[in-house]
Chains A and B, each alone.
Chain A
Amino acid sequence: DAGVIQSPRHEVTEMGQEVTLRCKPISGHNSLFWYRQTMMRGLELLIYFNNNVPIDDSGMPEDRFSAKMPNASFSTLKIQPSEPRDSAVYFCASSFTFHEQFFGPGTRLTVL
């Protein structure tokens, strides 16, 4: 099993640019979670999906952030336009509903 796959692993972009982060969950898992981790705010849940349907997006910081899950094997988190305060490590995790989550390696985003 390849585990949760995230791409890219590192992204450096300039303020105002669009950023798209990608996640492939573990095959067979039906829940997917997007997190953001910073030194100041710790680990924050941004949004999560169950059976490809967004359940709770209350953690999404503002309208510049959007997430989609078009099918069971792929999800994206998009930031448009990006700002320096969006710099963080973004994690994707997947699970069977109500079971432990498996985390991807993360995408380190730097917005200059």
Chain B
Amino acid sequence: GDSVTQMEGPVTLSEEAFLTINCTYTATGYPSLFWYVQYPGEGLQLLLKATKADDKGSNKGFEATYRKETTSFHLEKGSVQVSDSAVYFCALIGVAGGTSYGKLTFGQGTILTVHP
């Protein structure tokens, strides 16, 4: 079945540091890939997405590129801020078929803490 693996956390950075959170996946065909963010005490919010190979999703300074050859969707930001402190989830929606009606498969989440 489909699966998503994220880098182990937590990740602690100083403000303005470069961020990378690794994400790799296992799925048949061409899944859609997502990054969700959860700020403390809130629900998950879609941060960015990519629906086909080589697509780059971007939002709020974050970027991730859909790499079919390495089955990866790593999240990057060039200069993090204290306000970026949150939990980040990589996820995929697999191709149609069986009981897959758009069910998200999530990674385990990575806690990011940014210090001033």
Contact = CB atoms under 8 A, between A and B. Distances in A.
Interface of A: 31, 33, 42-43, 45, 48, 50, 55-56, 91, 93, 95-106
Contacts of B99: 55-56
B43 A91 contact: yes
Contact of A103 (B32, B44, B103): B44
Interface in B77-114: 89, 93, 96, 99, 101-104, 106, 108-109
A97 B42 contact: no
A98 B99 CA distance: 12
B26 interface: no
A31 B108 CA distance: 23
Contacts of B109: 42-43
Interface residues of B, number: 20
B34 A100 contact: yes
Given A42-B109, A43-B89, A98-B93, A104 B43 contact: yes
A13 to B, nearest CB: 20
16 contacts: A31-B101, A45-B103, A48-B101, A56-B103, A96-B102, A97-B102, A98-B32, A98-B96, A98-B101, A99-B32, A100-B46, A100-B49, A103-B36, A103-B44, A103-B45, A104-B43
B101 A97 contact: yes
A33 B103 contact: yes
A105 B102 contact: no
Nearest to B108: A42
